[in-house]
């Protein structure tokens, strides 16, 4: 529903008028559960926002899945670790997809959360470009470009970027360090499978790991990603007999339904314009390392 304001009013009063005199309580429910845009910019939905004459107010119903992912992003708060005129790096929380998924078009993405934040801050249309992705239940550093040209430039040099992760696994690897190399391919069961040799539609994948320490009943590994294939780290560690805690899709116990204990913790690259070496690091919360002490919502 859309309407252009003919009079100045608070947002809640405008909604009451927009919906032909609904109760104030119903207007509050609309504020809480529906997406509201003012002049094409998504708002925080506060009742006291002032609507000016000529403002275009648009209200769209959110799906349940949108509300869930939006709530996850809100709880974890938006953490931008670096921003300039060319790139932006932020910490993606677990429970939200990185970029729009054609198979799940109703899900709010972290990409969209960042764009909405920037639009609200700058009060104008903003567009950013995803350079890479993290799985929905994986947290950590995500890099965005502020132009398609910068996006392509970074992608062309992506093999030179250092990408490190922390993985909490159910078992300790037989060797303290090693490299896994094979070919990965999507299967009809919506899982990624590996092959020792190249087969049609498969892609080469290389993962390096190093054992760091044992934490309680679990084991912490540092993982260096040399190629960026779908579910790559999850598949490779699972094949070693070291499934990541929470990743029951790839062999872990289903005691913890969420989240997968995998985090992107270090990104090292040269700035696309200045060429200056830049290093960004992230340390997950204590709950990441202690699943038994995590919030009940992460348990089955």
Kindly report the CATH number assigned to the domain that includes residue 80.
3.30.70
CATH number of the domain that 175 lies in?
Answer: 3.30.2350.10
Distance CA 256, CA 253 (A): 7
- Are 291 and 230 members of one domain? yes
* CA 44 to mean position of chain CA atoms: 20
pLDDT at position 298 is: 39
Least reliable range by pLDDT among 45-49, 196-200, 228-232, 295-299 = 295-299
**Residue 172 and residue 283 share a domain:** yes
pLDDT score at 37:
84
At 282, give phi and psi (nearest 5°).
-140, 135
Residues 175 and 242 in one domain: yes
- What pLDDT, in 10s, does the model give residues 264-278? 999 999 999 999 999
Same domain, 80 and 188: no
pLDDT at 209: 98
Q: What is the pLDDT of residues 246-266, one digit of tens each?
A: 998 999 988 776 689 999 999
Query: Do 226 and 258 reside in the same domain of the chain?
Result: yes
Last residue of a domain, one of 27, 61, 95: 61
**Total tally of structural domains belonging to the chain:** 3
Torsion of CA 155, 156, 159, 163, to 10 degrees: -20
Selected residue with higher pLDDT from 247 and 293:
247
Query: What was the pLDDT predicted at 77?
Result: 65
Please state, in angstroms and rounded to a whole number, the distance separating the CA atoms of residues 83 and 3. 35
Q: Which pLDDT score is estimated for 2?
A: 87
Domain hosting 16: range is 2-61
Q: What is the pLDDT of residue 104?
A: 67
Q: Residue 135, SS3? A: coil
174 shares a domain with 148: no
Instruction: Compute the average pLDDT of residues 150-165.
Output: 96
- Say whether pTM exceeds 0.75: no
Which of 61, 91, 106 lies at the terminal end of a domain, its last residue? 61
Mean pLDDT (the chain, rounded): 87
Tokens for 170, please give them: 């159910």
Check whether 227 has a pLDDT greater than 50: yes
Rounded distance between C-alpha atoms, residue 287 and residue 133, angstroms = 23
Residue 7: pLDDT band with limits 50, 70, 90: confident
Residues 232 and 283 grouped into a single domain = yes
Using CA atoms, how far apart are residues 16 and 1, in angstroms rounded to an integer?
13
- Summarize the confidence of residues 67-89 as an average pLDDT: 71
Name the nearest CA neighbour of 268 among 173, 121, 162, 151: 162
Could you tell me if 10 and 50 are in contact, meaning their C-beta atoms sit under 8 angstroms apart?
Answer: yes
Pair 233, 165: CB distance under 8 Å: yes
Peptide bond just before 259 cis, omega within 30 deg: yes
Residue 67 has pLDDT above 60, yes or no: no
| pLDDT one-digit tens code per residue, 88-126 | 999 999 989 999 877 766 678 999 999 988 888 888 889
Between 150 and 45, name the one with better pLDDT: 150
Cβ neighbour number for residue 19 with a 10 Å cutoff: 15
Over 50: is that where the pLDDT of 73 sits?
Answer: no
Q: What is the CATH classification number for the domain harbouring 39?
A: 3.10.290.10
Asked whether residue 208 carries a pLDDT value surpassing 80, the answer given is: yes
Task: Indicate if 54 and 94 belong to the same structural domain.
Answer: no
Chain-centroid distance, C-alpha 190: 20
The two three-digit tokens of residue 300, written as one number: 């089955």
pLDDT value for 296: 43
Q: Are residues 166 and 246 in the same domain?
A: yes
Number of H helices, E strands in the chain: 7, 17
Residue 82 has pLDDT above 90, yes or no: yes
Percent of the chain with pLDDT over 70: 89
Tell me: do 272 and 295 sit in the same domain: yes
Check residues 90 and 59 and name the one with the higher pLDDT: 90
User: Any idea of the CA torsion for 17, 20, 23, 29, to the nearest 10 degrees?
Assistant: -80
């Amino acid at each position: 529903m859309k309407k252009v304001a003919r009079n100045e009013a608070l947002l809640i009063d405008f909604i009451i008028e927009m919906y032909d005199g609904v109760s104030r309580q119903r207007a509050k429910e609309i504020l809480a559960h529906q997406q509201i845009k003012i002049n094409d910019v998504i708002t925080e939905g506060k009742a006291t926002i002032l609507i000016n004459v000529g403002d275009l107010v648009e209200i769209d119903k959110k799906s349940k899945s949108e509300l869930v992912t939006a709530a996850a992003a809100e709880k974890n708060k938006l953490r931008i670790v670096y921003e300039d005129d060319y790139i932006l790096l932020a910490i993606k929380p677990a429970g939200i997809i990185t970029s729009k998924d054609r198979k799940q078009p109703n899900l709010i993405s972290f990409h969209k959360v960042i764009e909405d934040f920037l639009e609200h801050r700058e009060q104008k249309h903003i567009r950013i470009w995803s350079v890479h992705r993290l799985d929905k239940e994986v947290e950590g550093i995500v890099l965005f470009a502020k132009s398609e040209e910068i996006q392509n430039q970074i992608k062309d040099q992506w093999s030179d970027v250092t990408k490190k992760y922390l993985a909490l696994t159910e078992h300790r690897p037989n060797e303290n360090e090693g490299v896994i190399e094979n070919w990965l391919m999507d299967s009809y069961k919506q899982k990624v499978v590996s092959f020792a040799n190249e087969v049609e539609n498969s892609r080469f994948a290389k993962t390096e790991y190093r054992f760091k320490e044992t934490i309680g009943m679990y084991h912490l590994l540092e993982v260096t990603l040399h190629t960026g294939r779908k579910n790559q780290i999850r598949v490779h560690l699972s094949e070693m007999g070291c499934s990541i805690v929470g990743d029951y899709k790839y062999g872990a116990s289903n005691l913890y339904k969420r989240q997968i204990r995998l985090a992107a913790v270090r990104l090292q690259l040269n700035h696309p314009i200045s060429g200056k070496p830049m290093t960004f690091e992230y340390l997950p919360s204590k709950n990441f390392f202690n699943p038994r002490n995590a919030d009940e919502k992460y348990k089955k």
